[in-house]
Amino acid sequence: MKTLIALILAAFAASAVADGGSRLTAPNNPKWKAECGSCHLAYPPQLLTADNWRSLMGGLDRHFGANATLTPQENTEILAYLERYSASSPAHSATTLRISDTPWFRREHREVAAKLWTQAAVKSRSNCAACHTAAERGNWSESSIRLPGGQRWKDRD
Ligand code: HEC
Ligand code: HEC
């Protein structure tokens, strides 16, 4: 039984690697997950540059219309984590400090039809989990993407 479970897990891991979904794995940080995952999904550190994370963490009192202020200690710890696993490429940088405005995001989603972003079930590009159904568990692979309505991305026409 243990062997069977191990084989199944290995198969899942292999499929995640095959379609690139494993690129966003970073060791978990419980404080980051709790504090930055309470209003929305905890966005992976690899999706913004260190400069962008520093600006974002420096303005948590006016965070996209919300107040997400932390204690100074929490802020320092979480920023260190974000910086450590941040992106180095300028394709992951946006003056708005939004992952969804970076050149990387636009390229990665260029085949996603404009009307999908505004559907009630999605509302905003920031709502990653509306389509990336396993992203909370760190799995961004294409095989786990469902479009609003439930269609698998891979099965679309
Ligand atoms: C009090 C609620 C709240 C907390 C806590 C919070 N955020 Fe946010 N965050 C928001 C809101 C609201 C938005 C805007 C969402 C939208 O436009 O749909 C947002 C957007 C973002 C975006 C831009 C998403 C995009 O479109 O690419 C990033 C990056 C982000 N948050 C990072 C963080 C980090 C890092 C933390 C932890 C330090 C954090 N957030 C904690 C409310 C919060
Ligand atoms: C409307 C649905 C939708 C939303 C919302 C969405 N995505 Fe995506 N995402 C997709 C689709 C569909 C693809 C595959 C596009 C393709 O293959 O051309 C994709 C691809 C990706 C990939 C590449 C996956 C791989 O293995 O190649 C990543 C990473 C990703 N998205 C991250 C995000 C992040 C981060 C957010 C939120 C800030 C987000 N997405 C919001 C639909 C969405």
* Average per-residue pLDDT for the chain: 87
Q: Report pLDDT for 24.
A: 80
Summarize pLDDT for 131-148 with one digit per residue, the tens: 999 998 888 999 899 988
Residue type, 153: W
Q: For a substitution probing ligand 2, which of 98, 109, 111, 123 has the most ligand atoms within 8 Å of its CB?
A: 109
3-state SS, residue 152 = strand
CA distance 94 to 126: 14
Q: How many angstroms separate the alpha carbon of residue 144 from the centre of ligand 1?
A: 23
Ligand 2 centroid to Cα of residue 109, in Å, is 6
Alpha-carbon distance 148 to 123, whole Å?
A: 11
At 12, the pLDDT band (50, 70, 90 cuts) reads very low
- Is the pTM value of this prediction over 0.75? yes
Q: Which two tokens stand for residue 120?
A: 């009630």
How confident is the model over 60-71, as a mean pLDDT? 98
Contact 50, 83 (CB under 8 A): yes
At residue 61, does pLDDT exceed 80? yes
The ligand placed nearest to the CA atom of residue 32 is 1
Q: Which residues contact 49 (CB under 8 A, 6 or more apart)?
A: 86, 87, 88, 89, 90, 92, 93
Our answer on whether the CB atom of 15 is closer than 6 Å to any ligand 1 atom is no
